[in-house]
Structure 1
Amino acid sequence: MLTPDIAVDVVTSALHAVMLLVTVLVAPGLIVGLLVSLFQAATQINEQTLSFLPRLLVTLLALSLAGSWITSYLMDFCVEIFQRAAQLVG
């Protein structure tokens, strides 16, 4: 039987997984965006492409480097959720 404690535990672990995976992909782009913005402010270059392209490239690089880890993490998480569901049923 699904109790509120079990539901809260499942939702908490799902939110933890989402935050971890999003942080791995977004944090490098944020850091590069900050560095490019500081460079633009120092040189007074206001080019939109200069801020977009490095962030895009770093995000794609982070995705390619962490892609296998992300996939294995999500697969392990799904297996864990299905095992919990099997325990709840019987």
Structure 2
Amino acid sequence: MTPEMVFEVAKQSVFVTILVAAPILGIALIVGLVISIFQAVTQIQEQTLVFVPKIIAVFAGLLLFGPWMLRHLLNFTQNILANLSQYAG
């Protein structure tokens, strides 16, 4: 396995990781920002107020984006396993 192949597999791994995590992280970011703005406007400084809506939003995002995320992970895994003979030497 050449260094170029190692670099390419690492690059693909990082790209797939970012691609799969982005929707859930984006949802959590947006919900957290909206709740923070709400807290600043109403001057409610309860720290636990953030967690319940964020958890609900993340679970809803997983239900919505889960099949898409799984499809990307399966395609990446199938690609790695199909080319395993090239990686092993």
TM-score, length of structure 1 as denominator length: 0.91
Q: Which runs of 5+ in 2 are unaligned?
A: none
TM-score, length of structure 2 as denominator length: 0.91
2:39 paired with 1:14: no
Say what the alpha-carbon RMSD is for the aligned residues.
1.4
Report how far residue 49 of structure 1 moved. 2.6
Distance in 2 separating the partners of 1:61 and 1:86:
39
Distance in 2 separating the partners of 1:48 and 1:89:
50
Q: Which has the higher contact order (CA 8 A, sep 6+)?
A: 2
> Which residue does 1:3 correspond to in 2?
2
2:84 paired with 1:85: yes
SS in 2 for 1:45: coil
Please tell me the residue identity of whatever aligns with 1:49. Answer: T
Question: Structure 1 vs Structure 2: percent identity of aligned residues?
Answer: 35
Deviations, residues 53-82 of structure 1 (Å, cap 9, x unaligned) = 111111000001111111111111001111
Distance in 2 separating the partners of 1:74 and 1:86:
20
> Which residue does 1:74 correspond to in 2?
73
Please tell me the residue identity of whatever aligns with 2:22. Answer: T
> Which residue does 1:65 correspond to in 2?
64
Gap change, CA 1:46 and 1:87, over 3 Å in 2: same
Runs of 4+ more than 2 Å apart = 86-90
